[in-house]
Amino acid sequence: MRAAPQYNAAMRICSFLPAATEMLFALGLGDDVVAVSHECDYPPEALSRPRVTTSLIQPERLTSAEIDAAVSKAFVEGRPSYRVDMDVLTAAHPDLIVTQDLCVVCAIGGSDVRQAAACLEPQPRLVSLDPHSVSDVIACVHTLGDVAGVATRAWQLAAEMEARVAAAWATAAAAPRPRVLCLEWMDPPWIAGHWMPEVVQLAGGADALARAGEPSRRATWDEIADAAPEVAIIMPCGFSVERTLAEIGVLESIPQLARIPAFTTGRAHVVDGSSYFNRPGPRIVDGIELLGAIIHPEIFPGRAATGCNVQLMVRGGRHEVRAVAL
Protein backbone atom coordinates (compact mmCIF):
# COMPACT_ATOMS: atom_id res chain seq x y z
CA MET A 1 0.00 0.00 0.00
CA ARG A 2 1.37 3.39 -0.92
CA ALA A 3 1.99 5.85 1.89
CA ALA A 4 -0.05 9.02 1.94
CA PRO A 5 2.12 12.14 2.03
CA GLN A 6 1.45 14.76 4.67
CA TYR A 7 -1.24 17.14 3.43
CA ASN A 8 -0.10 20.72 3.15
CA ALA A 9 -3.12 22.93 3.79
CA ALA A 10 -1.25 25.91 2.35
CA MET A 11 -0.51 24.23 -0.99
CA ARG A 12 -1.10 26.50 -3.99
CA ILE A 13 -2.07 24.63 -7.15
CA CYS A 14 -2.14 25.87 -10.75
CA SER A 15 -4.00 23.68 -13.23
CA PHE A 16 -3.35 23.96 -16.96
CA LEU A 17 -5.83 21.19 -17.75
CA PRO A 18 -9.66 21.24 -17.43
CA ALA A 19 -9.80 17.55 -16.49
CA ALA A 20 -7.24 18.10 -13.72
CA THR A 21 -9.19 21.07 -12.43
CA GLU A 22 -12.29 18.89 -12.18
CA MET A 23 -10.31 16.23 -10.32
CA LEU A 24 -8.82 18.73 -7.90
CA PHE A 25 -12.22 20.14 -6.99
CA ALA A 26 -13.68 16.63 -6.70
CA LEU A 27 -10.86 15.82 -4.25
CA GLY A 28 -11.86 18.78 -2.10
CA LEU A 29 -8.88 20.89 -3.15
CA GLY A 30 -10.84 23.74 -4.73
CA ASP A 31 -9.62 26.28 -2.18
CA ASP A 32 -6.02 25.37 -3.05
CA VAL A 33 -6.51 25.97 -6.79
CA VAL A 34 -5.13 29.48 -7.33
CA ALA A 35 -5.04 29.63 -11.15
CA VAL A 36 -6.48 27.65 -14.07
CA SER A 37 -6.40 27.55 -17.85
CA HIS A 38 -8.82 29.58 -19.95
CA GLU A 39 -10.71 26.36 -20.76
CA CYS A 40 -11.37 25.36 -17.14
CA ASP A 41 -15.10 25.90 -16.68
CA TYR A 42 -16.18 23.11 -14.32
CA PRO A 43 -17.17 23.12 -11.57
CA PRO A 44 -18.60 26.65 -11.77
CA GLU A 45 -16.32 27.75 -8.92
CA ALA A 46 -13.35 27.32 -11.26
CA LEU A 47 -14.59 30.27 -13.31
CA SER A 48 -13.63 32.61 -10.46
CA ARG A 49 -9.95 31.63 -10.59
CA PRO A 50 -7.36 33.71 -12.50
CA ARG A 51 -6.75 32.49 -16.06
CA VAL A 52 -3.16 31.52 -16.72
CA THR A 53 -3.48 30.72 -20.45
CA THR A 54 -4.92 32.31 -23.57
CA SER A 55 -5.85 30.79 -26.92
CA LEU A 56 -4.03 32.41 -29.83
CA ILE A 57 -6.61 31.16 -32.33
CA GLN A 58 -9.84 32.61 -30.87
CA PRO A 59 -12.05 29.63 -31.79
CA GLU A 60 -15.27 31.38 -30.80
CA ARG A 61 -14.94 33.56 -33.91
CA LEU A 62 -14.19 30.74 -36.35
CA THR A 63 -16.04 27.86 -37.97
CA SER A 64 -14.94 24.26 -37.42
CA ALA A 65 -13.15 24.23 -40.78
CA GLU A 66 -11.39 27.50 -39.98
CA ILE A 67 -10.31 26.25 -36.55
CA ASP A 68 -8.89 23.07 -38.07
CA ALA A 69 -7.03 25.05 -40.73
CA ALA A 70 -5.60 27.50 -38.16
CA VAL A 71 -4.46 24.75 -35.79
CA SER A 72 -2.96 22.71 -38.63
CA LYS A 73 -1.08 25.73 -39.99
CA ALA A 74 0.30 26.62 -36.56
CA PHE A 75 1.43 23.02 -36.04
CA VAL A 76 3.20 22.84 -39.41
CA GLU A 77 4.90 26.19 -38.79
CA GLY A 78 5.92 25.23 -35.27
CA ARG A 79 3.87 27.99 -33.66
CA PRO A 80 1.97 27.50 -30.38
CA SER A 81 -1.81 27.66 -30.24
CA TYR A 82 -1.80 28.83 -26.64
CA ARG A 83 0.10 31.38 -24.55
CA VAL A 84 1.03 31.30 -20.87
CA ASP A 85 0.29 34.54 -19.03
CA MET A 86 3.50 34.82 -17.03
CA ASP A 87 2.18 37.70 -14.93
CA VAL A 88 -0.73 35.57 -13.71
CA LEU A 89 1.48 32.51 -13.22
CA THR A 90 4.08 34.47 -11.24
CA ALA A 91 1.42 36.13 -9.08
CA ALA A 92 -0.11 32.72 -8.31
CA HIS A 93 3.11 31.52 -6.60
CA PRO A 94 2.20 27.87 -7.24
CA ASP A 95 3.67 25.02 -5.20
CA LEU A 96 2.23 22.51 -7.66
CA ILE A 97 1.52 22.81 -11.40
CA VAL A 98 -0.61 20.22 -13.21
CA THR A 99 -0.28 19.92 -16.98
CA GLN A 100 -0.58 17.30 -19.75
CA ASP A 101 1.40 15.72 -22.57
CA LEU A 102 -1.53 14.03 -24.30
CA CYS A 103 -2.61 16.55 -26.95
CA VAL A 104 -1.24 19.99 -27.86
CA VAL A 105 -4.42 20.77 -29.83
CA CYS A 106 -6.91 20.39 -26.97
CA ALA A 107 -4.81 22.12 -24.30
CA ILE A 108 -1.45 23.74 -23.83
CA GLY A 109 1.34 21.16 -24.01
CA GLY A 110 3.53 20.11 -21.13
CA SER A 111 6.72 21.35 -22.78
CA ASP A 112 5.40 24.93 -22.92
CA VAL A 113 4.29 24.71 -19.30
CA ARG A 114 7.64 23.34 -18.18
CA GLN A 115 9.40 26.19 -19.97
CA ALA A 116 7.19 28.73 -18.19
CA ALA A 117 7.58 27.01 -14.81
CA ALA A 118 11.36 27.12 -15.16
CA CYS A 119 11.17 30.91 -14.84
CA LEU A 120 9.55 30.72 -11.40
CA GLU A 121 11.38 31.02 -8.11
CA PRO A 122 11.12 28.91 -6.08
CA GLN A 123 10.56 26.09 -8.53
CA PRO A 124 7.13 24.47 -8.16
CA ARG A 125 6.56 20.75 -8.44
CA LEU A 126 5.18 19.84 -11.87
CA VAL A 127 2.98 16.84 -12.60
CA SER A 128 1.98 15.88 -16.15
CA LEU A 129 -1.04 13.65 -16.79
CA ASP A 130 -1.11 11.37 -19.84
CA PRO A 131 -4.22 9.14 -19.74
CA HIS A 132 -5.11 6.89 -22.68
CA SER A 133 -7.79 4.69 -21.11
CA VAL A 134 -10.53 4.80 -18.50
CA SER A 135 -8.25 3.04 -16.02
CA ASP A 136 -5.59 5.67 -16.75
CA VAL A 137 -8.10 8.42 -15.92
CA ILE A 138 -8.81 6.79 -12.58
CA ALA A 139 -5.06 6.39 -11.99
CA CYS A 140 -4.70 10.16 -12.48
CA VAL A 141 -7.03 10.65 -9.52
CA HIS A 142 -4.57 8.66 -7.41
CA THR A 143 -1.64 10.64 -8.82
CA LEU A 144 -3.15 13.98 -7.88
CA GLY A 145 -4.27 12.67 -4.51
CA ASP A 146 -0.76 11.51 -3.73
CA VAL A 147 1.07 14.68 -4.75
CA ALA A 148 -1.47 16.91 -2.99
CA GLY A 149 -1.47 14.84 0.17
CA VAL A 150 -5.10 13.67 0.00
CA ALA A 151 -4.50 10.02 -0.89
CA THR A 152 -7.42 8.79 1.21
CA ARG A 153 -9.85 11.08 -0.59
CA ALA A 154 -8.38 9.93 -3.90
CA TRP A 155 -8.93 6.27 -3.01
CA GLN A 156 -12.55 7.05 -2.14
CA LEU A 157 -13.20 8.96 -5.36
CA ALA A 158 -11.44 6.32 -7.48
CA ALA A 159 -13.42 3.54 -5.79
CA GLU A 160 -16.69 5.33 -6.53
CA MET A 161 -15.70 5.75 -10.18
CA GLU A 162 -14.61 2.12 -10.48
CA ALA A 163 -17.88 0.89 -8.97
CA ARG A 164 -19.95 2.86 -11.47
CA VAL A 165 -17.79 1.67 -14.38
CA ALA A 166 -18.21 -1.92 -13.22
CA ALA A 167 -21.98 -1.46 -12.91
CA ALA A 168 -22.20 -0.09 -16.47
CA TRP A 169 -20.14 -2.99 -17.80
CA ALA A 170 -22.33 -5.52 -15.97
CA THR A 171 -25.47 -3.88 -17.36
CA ALA A 172 -24.27 -3.96 -20.95
CA ALA A 173 -22.27 -7.21 -20.90
CA ALA A 174 -24.92 -9.39 -22.54
CA ALA A 175 -26.44 -6.75 -24.82
CA PRO A 176 -26.04 -6.73 -28.61
CA ARG A 177 -23.25 -4.38 -29.67
CA PRO A 178 -24.14 -1.95 -32.47
CA ARG A 179 -21.31 -0.28 -34.40
CA VAL A 180 -20.72 3.21 -32.99
CA LEU A 181 -19.13 6.28 -34.57
CA CYS A 182 -17.65 8.84 -32.17
CA LEU A 183 -17.14 12.00 -34.18
CA GLU A 184 -14.75 14.36 -32.41
CA TRP A 185 -14.86 17.00 -35.16
CA MET A 186 -17.31 17.52 -38.04
CA ASP A 187 -15.44 19.64 -40.57
CA PRO A 188 -13.20 17.85 -41.38
CA PRO A 189 -14.27 14.62 -39.67
CA TRP A 190 -12.08 13.34 -36.85
CA ILE A 191 -12.54 10.01 -35.07
CA ALA A 192 -12.30 10.11 -31.26
CA GLY A 193 -9.53 7.91 -29.89
CA HIS A 194 -7.69 7.27 -26.62
CA TRP A 195 -10.30 6.25 -23.99
CA MET A 196 -13.38 6.59 -26.23
CA PRO A 197 -13.34 3.07 -27.77
CA GLU A 198 -13.28 1.70 -24.21
CA VAL A 199 -16.10 4.05 -23.19
CA VAL A 200 -18.13 2.71 -26.13
CA GLN A 201 -17.42 -0.87 -25.10
CA LEU A 202 -18.38 -0.26 -21.48
CA ALA A 203 -21.64 1.35 -22.67
CA GLY A 204 -22.57 -1.67 -24.77
CA GLY A 205 -21.34 -0.73 -28.24
CA ALA A 206 -18.47 -1.54 -30.59
CA ASP A 207 -16.37 1.34 -31.89
CA ALA A 208 -16.58 1.21 -35.69
CA LEU A 209 -13.45 3.19 -36.53
CA ALA A 210 -11.09 3.56 -33.55
CA ARG A 211 -8.92 1.29 -31.45
CA ALA A 212 -8.54 1.62 -27.71
CA GLY A 213 -5.58 3.70 -26.60
CA GLU A 214 -4.74 5.08 -30.03
CA PRO A 215 -4.88 8.86 -30.69
CA SER A 216 -7.79 10.62 -32.34
CA ARG A 217 -7.35 10.82 -36.10
CA ARG A 218 -8.61 12.50 -39.19
CA ALA A 219 -10.89 10.41 -41.42
CA THR A 220 -12.84 10.69 -44.65
CA TRP A 221 -16.59 10.47 -45.05
CA ASP A 222 -16.12 7.56 -47.46
CA GLU A 223 -14.21 5.67 -44.76
CA ILE A 224 -16.94 6.45 -42.24
CA ALA A 225 -19.69 5.36 -44.65
CA ASP A 226 -17.85 2.11 -45.42
CA ALA A 227 -17.70 1.31 -41.69
CA ALA A 228 -21.53 1.59 -41.61
CA PRO A 229 -21.93 2.77 -38.00
CA GLU A 230 -25.39 2.11 -36.59
CA VAL A 231 -25.11 4.81 -33.90
CA ALA A 232 -23.31 8.14 -34.31
CA ILE A 233 -22.21 10.29 -31.39
CA ILE A 234 -21.37 13.84 -32.53
CA MET A 235 -19.11 15.28 -29.83
CA PRO A 236 -16.79 18.00 -31.21
CA CYS A 237 -13.91 18.64 -28.85
CA GLY A 238 -14.46 21.82 -26.85
CA PHE A 239 -17.97 22.43 -28.20
CA SER A 240 -21.20 22.63 -26.26
CA VAL A 241 -24.39 21.15 -27.73
CA GLU A 242 -25.48 24.66 -28.74
CA ARG A 243 -22.19 25.38 -30.54
CA THR A 244 -22.34 22.04 -32.35
CA LEU A 245 -25.94 22.65 -33.46
CA ALA A 246 -24.93 26.07 -34.78
CA GLU A 247 -22.76 24.25 -37.32
CA ILE A 248 -24.82 21.09 -37.82
CA GLY A 249 -25.84 22.34 -41.27
CA VAL A 250 -22.37 21.44 -42.57
CA LEU A 251 -23.58 17.83 -42.66
CA GLU A 252 -26.11 18.71 -45.36
CA SER A 253 -23.27 18.93 -47.87
CA ILE A 254 -22.02 15.39 -47.10
CA PRO A 255 -23.52 12.98 -49.68
CA GLN A 256 -22.06 9.95 -47.87
CA LEU A 257 -24.52 10.49 -45.00
CA ALA A 258 -27.15 8.73 -47.08
CA ARG A 259 -25.04 5.56 -46.79
CA ILE A 260 -24.53 5.73 -43.02
CA PRO A 261 -27.16 3.75 -41.08
CA ALA A 262 -26.89 5.94 -37.99
CA PHE A 263 -28.11 8.93 -39.97
CA THR A 264 -30.69 7.17 -42.14
CA THR A 265 -32.35 5.49 -39.14
CA GLY A 266 -32.32 8.50 -36.82
CA ARG A 267 -29.65 7.21 -34.43
CA ALA A 268 -27.23 10.13 -34.69
CA HIS A 269 -26.92 12.20 -31.53
CA VAL A 270 -25.28 15.49 -30.59
CA VAL A 271 -23.91 15.43 -27.04
CA ASP A 272 -21.91 17.69 -24.74
CA GLY A 273 -18.47 16.34 -25.55
CA SER A 274 -16.56 18.72 -23.29
CA SER A 275 -18.52 17.67 -20.22
CA TYR A 276 -18.68 13.92 -20.72
CA PHE A 277 -16.26 12.61 -23.34
CA ASN A 278 -13.42 14.89 -24.51
CA ARG A 279 -11.95 15.51 -21.06
CA PRO A 280 -10.33 12.65 -19.11
CA GLY A 281 -11.81 13.72 -15.79
CA PRO A 282 -14.26 12.33 -13.22
CA ARG A 283 -17.27 12.97 -15.48
CA ILE A 284 -16.01 10.38 -17.96
CA VAL A 285 -18.07 7.94 -15.86
CA ASP A 286 -21.16 10.09 -16.48
CA GLY A 287 -20.25 9.80 -20.16
CA ILE A 288 -20.26 6.01 -20.00
CA GLU A 289 -23.70 6.04 -18.43
CA LEU A 290 -24.99 8.65 -20.89
CA LEU A 291 -23.69 6.67 -23.85
CA GLY A 292 -25.30 3.55 -22.44
CA ALA A 293 -28.65 5.37 -22.29
CA ILE A 294 -28.22 6.39 -25.95
CA ILE A 295 -27.12 2.99 -27.26
CA HIS A 296 -29.32 0.83 -25.03
CA PRO A 297 -32.16 2.88 -23.51
CA GLU A 298 -33.95 -0.36 -22.73
CA ILE A 299 -31.30 -1.49 -20.22
CA PHE A 300 -29.99 1.86 -18.94
CA PRO A 301 -33.28 3.26 -17.62
CA GLY A 302 -31.62 5.04 -14.70
CA ARG A 303 -29.85 7.55 -16.94
CA ALA A 304 -31.89 9.58 -19.41
CA ALA A 305 -30.14 10.45 -22.66
CA THR A 306 -29.43 14.16 -23.04
CA GLY A 307 -28.50 16.25 -26.05
CA CYS A 308 -30.14 16.18 -29.46
CA ASN A 309 -31.09 13.58 -32.01
CA VAL A 310 -29.98 14.48 -35.53
CA GLN A 311 -32.35 13.42 -38.28
CA LEU A 312 -31.33 13.22 -41.93
CA MET A 313 -34.01 13.80 -44.54
CA VAL A 314 -33.74 13.73 -48.31
CA ARG A 315 -35.96 16.17 -50.16
CA GLY A 316 -35.75 17.00 -53.82
CA GLY A 317 -32.44 15.17 -54.11
CA ARG A 318 -30.74 17.16 -51.32
CA HIS A 319 -30.06 16.40 -47.69
CA GLU A 320 -31.70 18.27 -44.87
CA VAL A 321 -30.54 17.91 -41.29
CA ARG A 322 -32.62 18.83 -38.29
CA ALA A 323 -32.05 18.41 -34.55
CA VAL A 324 -34.65 17.18 -32.10
CA ALA A 325 -34.08 17.50 -28.33
CA LEU A 326 -33.95 14.18 -26.49
pLDDT at residue 89 above 50? yes
Q: How confident is the model at residue 110 (pLDDT cuts 50, 70, 90)?
A: low
Inter-axis angle of helices 151-172 and 134-147, to 10 degrees? 170
State pLDDT tens for residues 161-187. 999 999 999 999 999 999 999 999 999
Least reliable range by pLDDT among 244-248, 267-271, 317-321: 317-321
C-alpha span between 41 and 226 (Å, rounded)? 37
pTM exceeds 0.75, yes or no: yes
pLDDT at residue 4 above 50? no
Least reliable range by pLDDT among 7-16, 61-70, 238-247, 278-287: 7-16
Mean pLDDT of 67-83: 80
pLDDT at residue 297 above 80? yes
- The residues that bridge with 270 in the sheet, in sequence order, are 234, 308
| Largest CA-CA distance found in the chain, in angstroms, rounded | 69
pLDDT at residue 253 above 50? yes
Which residue type does 30 have? G
pLDDT at residue 120 above 50? yes
Strands (E), the chain: 13-15, 33-36, 53-55, 82-84, 96-100, 125-129, 179-185, 190-191, 206-207, 217-218, 231-234, 268-270, 308-315, 318-325
Please give the mean pLDDT across all residues of the chain: 88
Q: What is the pLDDT of residue 6?
A: 43
The three-state DSSP-derived secondary structure of 99-130 is EECCCCCCCCCHHHHHHHHCCCCCCCEEEEEC
* More confident: 219 or 109: 219
User: Which among 71, 54, 53 is positioned nearest to 62, based on CA atoms?
Assistant: 71
pLDDT at residue 53 above 70? yes
Geometric angle at alpha carbon 266, from 262 and 271, rounded to 5°: 80
Q: What is the pLDDT of residue 171?
A: 95
C-alpha span between 191 and 215 (Å, rounded)? 9
User: CB-based contacts of 73: which residues, under 8 Å, 6+ apart?
Assistant: none
Q: Are 95 and 12 in contact (CB under 8 A)?
A: yes
Q: Are strands 179-185 and 231-234 parallel, antiparallel or unpaired?
A: parallel
pLDDT at residue 326 above 60? no
pLDDT at residue 1 above 60? no
Q: Are 157 and 27 in contact (CB under 8 A)?
A: yes
Q: How confident is the model at residue 222 (pLDDT cuts 50, 70, 90)?
A: very high
Q: What is the pLDDT of residue 143?
A: 96
pLDDT at residue 315 above 70? no
Q: How confident is the model at residue 112 (pLDDT cuts 50, 70, 90)?
A: confident
pLDDT at residue 103 above 70? no
Number of CB atoms found within 10 A of residue 25's CB? 22
Task: Find how far residue 269's CA is from the centre of its chain.
Answer: 16
Highest mean pLDDT among 111-115, 138-142, 211-215, 286-290: 138-142
Q: Which domains does the chain carry?
A: 13-157 (3.40.50.1980), 175-325 (3.40.50.1980)
Q: What is the pLDDT of residue 114?
A: 87
Q: Are strands 96-100 and 179-185 parallel, antiparallel or unpaired?
A: unpaired
Mean pLDDT of 319-323: 65
Which residue type does 25 have? F
